[in-house]
Structures are given as structure tokens and as C-alpha cells.
Amino acid sequence: MWKYLVILGAIVSFTGVLLYIREVFRWKAKPNKVSWLLWSVAPMIATVAALSQWVRRSVLPVFMSGFAPFLVFLVSLFVKQSYRKLSYFDYICWALSLLALLLWGITKNPNIAIIFAILSDFAAATPTLKKSWQHPDSESPIGFIGGLFNATTAFFVLQSFSFAELAFPIYLVVIDITLISFIILGRKSKKQK
């Protein structure tokens, strides 16, 4: 029965990203291309690494956490209102993210791959974390809420409480909660001023 929860999580994640894309077209969300592109890469690497260790059901939420951002990235290429003002900070985070991916490629160890995928994903998230706090109206929490639900479903289908199964889903829960909090608290803070 729990395996169906993972499928539900994937559907909720996909719905959340479609709602986020709708917010982009309505000019209510302005995705940072660097974050969204790199958010798609790291989970895909973590997916491949987990699959190489025979992790099956619990990898679907990790896969969806890469597929959904890739859709947002594709949309951001064609929508003029997406976040275009990239700073040195964005480029540094991008370089750190790519470096983490390169280091994983050198080590070829699946657990090291997952660690570097998490580091890469966090480096990719940093520009959006900063933007969400400083300009909360440029983001929408809906996609991250769907992602949070999706990531949480992985815990219901764990087969072996291994690092390969737990690490990336735990990270995804933490980063989604942080992004949602930054957006909501940032908006509240702005309204109080």
C-alpha cells in the first residue's frame, strides 16, 4: 500500500510544478535559471547513484525532485519575466555546484555521489534562498510545497534505512521547508514594514 503513496507524491509534485509554472506565466514567480537548472541535475545524479545500489521505490521522489525543476528551467528559457539578473554570487554558486558534480564523477562511489549531489543541490539553492528572502514576491511556495510532499513519501517505502535511501530525501525535506519558510516569512516581514 505504501508504494502507492510514492506515486501519489510524484503526482502531487508534478501538480505543484505545473501550478508554479502557471505562477511564472502570471508573472507572480520569477525562477532563477541557475537554481532551477542545477536543481534538475543533482537529483538525477542521486537517482542514478541510488539505482546503482538497487534502491527502487524510494528513488521516485528523488527523480521527481529533478524532473520537476527541469520543467521550470525549460519554461524559464521562454518566459521573459523569469529572473534574469544574475550576480557574481549566482555564478559562484553555479561553479560550486558544478565542482561538486565533477568531484562525484572523479570518485565514482555511489555514497560520495549522493553527498556531492546534496552539496551541488544546496549550492544551486543558495541564489533562490537569497532571492526568496530579499524579494519574496518573486517566488511562489506552491512548487516547493508539492516538492516537500513528494520528498516525504520516500520515508514510507524505505527498504533498508541505508544512506543511499535516506540522505537525499532528508535533504529535500529540509531545503523545501527552508524555501517555503523564507518565502512566507519574507512576505510577512515585507507586509509589516
Look at 180 and 124; give whichever has higher pLDDT: 180
Q: What gap in Å lies between CA 14 and CA 12, rounded to an integer?
A: 5
| Amino acid in the structure at residue 85 | K
- % of the chain surpassing 70 pLDDT: 89
Residue environment code for 146-155, b if the CB has 16+ CB neighbours within 10 A, otherwise e: bbbbbbbbbb
Angle at CA of residue 16, ends 15 and 21, nearest 5°: 95
Query: Is the model's pLDDT at 42 over the cut of 80?
Result: no
Look at 159 and 19; give whichever has higher pLDDT: 19
Q: What is the pTM of this model?
A: 0.76
- % of the chain surpassing 90 pLDDT: 12
Q: Which residue has the cell 501519489?
A: 8
Query: Is the model's pLDDT at 164 over the cut of 70?
Result: yes
What backbone phi and psi angles, to 5 degrees, belong to 48? -65, -40
The pLDDT, as a whole number, for residue 183 is: 93
Dihedral sign (CA 137, 139, 140, 141): negative
What does the pLDDT look like over 104-158, one tens digit per residue? Answer: 778 777 788 778 778 878 888 888 898 888 888 888 898 899 889 888 887 887 7
* Range among 3-12, 123-132, 156-165, 174-183 with highest mean pLDDT value: 174-183
* Residue 34's pLDDT band (cuts 50, 70, 90): confident
Cβ distance 3 to 134 under 8 Å? no
* DSSP designation for 138: G
Q: What gap in Å lies between CA 23 and CA 16, rounded to an integer?
A: 11
Query: Is the model's pLDDT at 93 over the cut of 90?
Result: no
Number of residues that make up the chain = 193
Look at 70 and 84; give whichever has higher pLDDT: 70
Q: What gap in Å lies between CA 1 and CA 6, rounded to an integer?
A: 10
Q: CB atoms < 10 A from the CB of 130, how many?
A: 17
* DSSP designation for 182: H
What does the pLDDT look like over 68-80, one tens digit per residue? Answer: 889 999 998 888 7
